Amino acid sequence: MHLLLLLPFFILSPSVDDVEIVPITHGSLILKWENKIVHIDPWSKGNYQGQPQADLILVTDIHGDHMDAEQIEKVSKPGTVVIAPAAVQQTVKQAQIMSNGEEKTIIGIQIQAVPMYNIKRGPEEGKLYHPKGRGNGYILTFGNRRIYISGDTECIPEMENLKNIDAAFVCMNLPYTMTPEEAAGCVNSFKPGVVYPYHYRDSDMDAFQKAVTAPGVKVELLDWY
C-alpha cells in the first residue's frame, strides 16, 4: 500500500490547494494537485495499481530506473505531455525537450529544468555517471508552492544555491550520487521547508536525519521500498 501524504499545510497560504504525494519506488513518484496528475520517472518495477494516468510526465535521465519507455506508455493517455532532456527524447520520441535553465508552463504548472550531475563519481577515471547537461532536475510550481526534484546528482552548487523551495525530493546512494551526509549538507545550504529523501535504497536514513541541522527544515521519510 502506498502512502498518500499532504504537504505540510503551514508552509504556504491556506488559499493554495495541497499537493498529494504518492511515493512509488526509488526515484518514481506521483504528485496530485487540483485534479492534475504528474508522474515523475515512471518505472515498471513500481506498483501503479489503482493510480491514475498522467496529465504530465517528467523524465530526468536516460538510466533505466528513470527512463522506462514501456511504463511511460502505460501511464500515458491521450493528451499526456512528456517532458525530458534531449538524451531521453532520442528514445522517448513523444517527449518535449527541456534543457537545464529552461522554463515552461503546462496544465497550469510551471516547470523549471535545473542541473543534475556528478562532480567526481563515475564508472572509471575520466567518466562520470551523470555528466553535466545530460539530465534534468526539476522545480515545479503549484500555485505558490515550489517543489524540487533533484534527479541523480551530487551536491552541486546549483542545488546549494536554490531559493524558496517549500519541499524537496533529494537523492542519495553510492556509488551513483552521494552519501546521506553529503545530501544533508546540500539541504542545510538551501533550507527547504520539508525534505523527502528518495532514490536512497540501502542508504542510512538515520545518518541523513541527524546531519540535517538547518533550522526549520523538516525531514519526512516515505515508503519507497
Confidence class for position 111, pLDDT limits 50, 70, 90: very high
Residue 150 is classified by DSSP as: -
| The three three-digit cell numbers of residue 133, written as one number | 547537461
Q: What is the pLDDT of residue 18?
A: 84
In this prediction, residues 66-94 reach a mean pLDDT of 98
CA 188 → CA 107, 151, 162, 183, 218, distances in Å? 32, 18, 11, 9, 11
Q: What percent of the chain stands above pLDDT 90?
A: 91
Output the pLDDT for position 197: 98
Enter the DSSP assignment of 175: T
Vertex 45, ends 44 and 48: CA angle to 5°?
Answer: 65
- The chain-wide mean pLDDT, for the chain, equals 93
pLDDT in tens, 13-29: 222 248 999 999 999 99
Q: Is the pLDDT reported for residue 5 higher than 60?
A: no
Asked whether 57 and 36 are in contact (CB, 8 A), the reply is no
52-86 CB burial, b ≥16 within 10 A, e <16: eebbbbbbbbbbebbbbbebbeebbeeebbbbbbe
Q: Which of 1-15, 65-79, 175-189 has the lowest mean pLDDT?
A: 1-15
CB 207 within 8 A of CB 178: no
Give pLDDT tens digits for 132-153.
Answer: 999 999 999 999 899 999 999 9
pLDDT surpasses 80 at 93: yes
Q: Is 69's pLDDT higher than 70?
A: yes
Residue at 164: amino acid letter: N
Round to whole Å and give the CA distance between 74 and 58.
14
Strand order in the sheet with 103-106: 103-106, 109-114, 137-142, 145-149, 167-171, 194-198, 218-219
What pLDDT band is residue 108 in, cutting at 50, 70 and 90? very high
Identify the CATH assignment for 5-214 out of 3.40.50.2300, 3.40.50.300, 3.40.50.1820, 3.60.15.10: 3.60.15.10
DSSP codes joined into one string, 62-109: SSTTT--HHHHHHH--TT-EEEE-HHHHTTSTTPEE--TT-EEEETTE
Q: Would you kindly state where each structural domain of the chain is located, as residue ranges?
A: 5-214
Count CB neighbours of 157 within 10 A.
10
Q: Rounded to an integer, what distance in angstroms lies between the CA atom of residue 153 and that of residue 198?
A: 12
* Gyration radius (Cα) of the chain, Å: 16
Query: According to the model, what pLDDT value does residue 96 have?
Result: 98
Report the candidate in 199, 198, 191 with the shortest Cα–Cα distance to residue 166.
191
Q: Does residue 159 sit in helix, strand or coil?
A: helix
Report the pLDDT averaged over residues 85-91: 97
